[in-house]
Copies of this chain bind each other. A is one copy, B any other.
């Protein structure tokens, strides 16, 4: 079974695999962070599945473990799973591997309990760390670690959605407070077009969907130097944004009607105070104008941009604009370690907010790059089969763990999804030269 994504960028450019030792260190650290993430949760919290797109925290903890067990331990001679029934329960969507428990019913399972899931994690961790792993284990280990990081972000967004439905206003994790800073003024950054290259082609890990690196033609364009703020988005609301069909895609207008959308997800109008509050991972608190707007769907991002006389960038524009920017920001693990809120904060200083605040919707439908080929075997189901109906997001959010962001990263969600930390950055066509 080979499942490593194509990594060459021309003859001779094969990426050297990371060392197994380095990967095992990373394994320990990433697995540990999953445990840290959940330390404030009660067993009851880990049962909740608040919608079919979300999964219970226990499921995330078990599924990521199942991934390592299935693709690394089961092929080992003599390995026998202590929990054969987990194969069905914790397979997410790998048809090649076998049957799956219905996704929408994951919240109907109370067993294995949180303690039992944690014991399963310990079993797989200790077995794996002591095993005599084969040569090709490195690439599986690497994808498994990245896979678990994706689920760490989902743990945060899924539990946020679930707790938001509880009238008691539960707190996942302090602190609540945001900076009172005002946001930096927005500026346009001009980018010269022409024949460009996008996609992953160099060293370092990337998913198959970021390959191959390929040529695209771009006209000159401009892209905003920070994310759209709550204050700016509030002006759209105040201008009747959610009541005026002319700003919306047809499917977006339907979503507004059917969902009775009047503001981003988690915003609630406090009529007495004439102000918006919002549910956060630290419980309910006021909306802060200087913070980037988040929990907006593609439809809302697109409508806002049209209202603002601008547009969303394409994914190629985003990548070209930020290709040379250093990958830094306030990532989820750093926020927890430094007791910062897990919520996007205002743009300050020279920060262009590429990473660590909110994912940024692009106008690009998620599809295969020219020449894309999914890997053979089960891991070929990782990305390719979802290339329909979603839009690409670029950057990384406050819920993304560090080490999981890069300029070529292609996140993707359905255009009506709002429970991720999704925001937007404006773009517009370049001005014709004189």
Contacts and interface: CB of A to CB of B under 8 A. Distances in A.
Interface string A164-207: 01111010000000000000000000000001000000000000
CB-CB nearest 9 A-B residue pairs: A365-B365, A44-B110, A95-B245, A47-B47, A43-B43, A45-B110, A250-B385, A215-B217, A249-B388
Of listed A42, A88, A195, A215, residue having the most chain B CB within 10 A: A42
A196 B166 CA distance: 53
B371 A429 contact: yes
Given A217-B216, A251-B389, A167 B48 contact: no
A47 B250 contact: no
Nearest to A252: B388
A363 interface: yes
Interface in A203-251: 214-217, 219, 245-246, 248-251
A356 interface: no
A326 interface: no
Interface string A243-268: 00110111111000000000000000
Interface residues of A, number: 63
Contacts of A101: 167
Contacts of A50: 108
Contacts of A167: 85, 88-89, 101
B110 A47 contact: yes
A370 interface: yes
A375 B15 CA distance: 49
A415 interface: yes
Given A50-B108, A166-B109, A363-B368, A386 B44 contact: no
Interface in A68-97: 85, 88-89, 93, 95-96
Interface stretch (A32-40, A111-119, A335-343, A400-408): A111-119
A380 to B, nearest CB: 8
Contact of A365 (B166, B246, B367): B367
A195 B219 CA distance: 13
A162 B217 contact: no
A370 B219 contact: yes
Contacts of A389: 251, 389, 415
A348 interface: no
A95 B46 CA distance: 32
A166 B111 contact: yes
A105 interface: yes
B85 A168 contact: yes
Contact of A249 (B217, B371, B385): B385
A107 interface: yes
Interface in A321-374: 363-365, 367-368, 370-371
Contacts of A386: 249-251
A387 interface: yes
A250 B250 CA distance: 24
